[in-house]
Structure 1
Amino acid sequence: MSIRINLDVMMARRHIAAGDLADRIGITPANLSILKNNKAKAVRFSTLEALCRELDCQPGDILEYLPDEEETP
């Protein structure tokens, strides 16, 4: 199983640059890049809440569950 972070998709839909979003939610551009590139091991709820607030979306718009191929019947 894996969780994909579709942050780049939401940012494109909202026409917001990474640097602007990082400033608005109070994290470093480097940490936002880690999220955007699916390198994060965890996401704080406070960060997820700030992302949803600034992007006017729901957590499910950003996070996507992908089952392993061997798990599907």
Structure 2
Amino acid sequence: MPPEQPHQIECHLDRLLAERGMTLAELAARVDVTIANLSILKNRRAKAIRFSTLSAICRELDCQPGDVLSYRTSDRRTGA
């Protein structure tokens, strides 16, 4: 994938946090990751995530990796 193309991975932290009544700051404290780093993930600016971080997020949100991340098969902005 050329670096200028955006990735097609979507993060669902907003929905998961809302469903659980938890703030990003609370999750950050529970998984021992900075709020800034979780915000980067949440806002689709992350280029990678460590399995240990994903595991901690899943543990604290009581969910599976597929609940946190999904692959978008087409670009919804252009309809492609």
Same fold (TM > 0.5)? yes
In structure 1, the residue matched to 2:43 is 37
**Alignment RMSD:** 1.4
Q: 1:26-51: CA deviations, max 9, x gaps? A: 00110011011111000100000000
The percentage of aligned residue pairs carrying the same residue is 54
1:18 and 2:24 correspond: yes
Structure 2 residues without counterparts, runs of 5 or longer: 1-6
Structure 1 residues without counterparts, runs of 5 or longer: none
Q: Comparing both structures, which one devotes a greater share of its residues to helix?
A: 1
Q: TM-score, normalised by structure 1?
A: 0.89
Q: Which structure ranks higher in relative contact order (CA pairs < 8 Å, sequence separation ≥ 6)?
A: 1
Q: AA paired with 1:12?
A: A
Number of residues paired by the alignment?
A: 70
Alpha-carbon distance in structure 2 between the residues aligned to 1:3 and 1:36 = 11
Q: Which runs of 4+ in 1 moved over 2 A?
A: none
1:54 and 2:39 correspond: no
